[in-house]
Structure 1
């Protein structure tokens, strides 16, 4: 097979997402040398969705149209690249860590960190995660709850005496310990999630357009203003001003991406992505001009420094300015 045909097939496989890890590495070596320029899609042929894909635990691929960036989490950036990042983003932000505050009646607020992550909370209280924080707790009945950044879990002092009711704001993944005699309730705003023994994710941030509950296993019933619906595993319920409805468009992997250590950007627009970045890196987002209407796809790790994430994006027709805690998206 002639070299040109091999290059053409390699480019086709890369843009279709079917390239192997080895083929992807070859693709970028050739791309850096300019040997693939004549085979890259023209502007009109490029996918309208931006692709961000994981090919291995330590490697991420970011693809915007015909431009691409490849980096390994385990490798230190080259000096020139590091200097560029330092010049562009002088106030870098590290990724979030396991941290929370526990407030209980009769005591002073207590700061929790990685040494307490997953520990059992034996009585009622409120656990709050800050921006750039996440935390896991085990309740007295064995139920396990993971909190994403800027989230709050409130457990009443009488938890478990007759039923088991908690309140959640923000985002949480819940694995309920089975106990048919004591139903488990999660109150999220005006929505009551009723379960026996199951696992689900709930996203109820105030800046998101709706409350989103994704069932992983078991079954749950959502009740709101006299209306109710039952979810089956893999289904998602959305609660907004129009009421409750089931949406089967999002899978469990996407709902649990934050808990599993990455951002899943499938179908997300830039505003949705920036809300996630704001919570995880503790920055305020502003926009200059009208942001792109482009939709994104794929995944990227939450263990990157903000400068690493932004440096990758700036090479691909997205531009930012980071000043203190304000991250501006430039048109």
Structure 2
């Protein structure tokens, strides 16, 4: 059965819900239609004309990017301009473009967790909490022959996460009763007759932001015409989401040693360093992209060194004066998350037959000489 953009978007937004994005961020489907079949996916940091040409050459009709293609309001759609040529090629070749930006920055196992992982940073927590997801308990009553199918469907939609454990459920055997009335088309039983069915009560936890997605997945997998299910609010704190990460290096090291480690781990030819290279650092704050304005938050979290991109002169001076050391590997290091996106998509059972490829185009506009 053909996979559509709806399934692709569901996988992405189960991992990085749009609710995690900062206000007014340009995310989601920017070109195309959700109902378009997914024949191939190209992953990129930025959507350039060369990336679009690569997708055309590979026969891929979906591009998943981190940075928005449409960021500023369009004044025109002239196809004799560099930007216009991109839109023309996308539309001519029916290529869809989906964006996951600050929601992927904030998502667990997203941009900032990948950057921390590359450096071996441990015990990471959110640098700037933005909100806590409300937790709910979902209870579903399922005939035994469809139990595993429904369980897998709701888990794929994001239900059942406790910490780093997925598919967390509790299951209890029981007997369900119902009588199909006139106008029904029951999966089990006959109209007008009381039916008793061996069922399993499945309990799992969901977050409020994915409730509709999970319930829709449950309805699609459940065999009953009218599935029985309950949703209860939980008076428990959910995991905090937010921008950036703070954690500990495996061992304290000199700032210049960390700089060399970062160059190798992030596969970059150079970076900018602010502070005494001989100073020992152990607590690290990391924020992929352009995070200079958040350096006071890194200080509040007790960081010795702050790793982020696009630092300007005066921000660097202010942070240095406040006692914070800085490493600026550039904005483009966010491309390291593309390998993680590929892994997430290829691990999902609905997309396992779809070709997923990280772009071979270098979209970094800067070079070291």
- TM-score normalised by length of structure 2: 0.22
Q: Greater strand share, 1 or 2?
A: 1
- Rg (Cα) greater in structure: 2
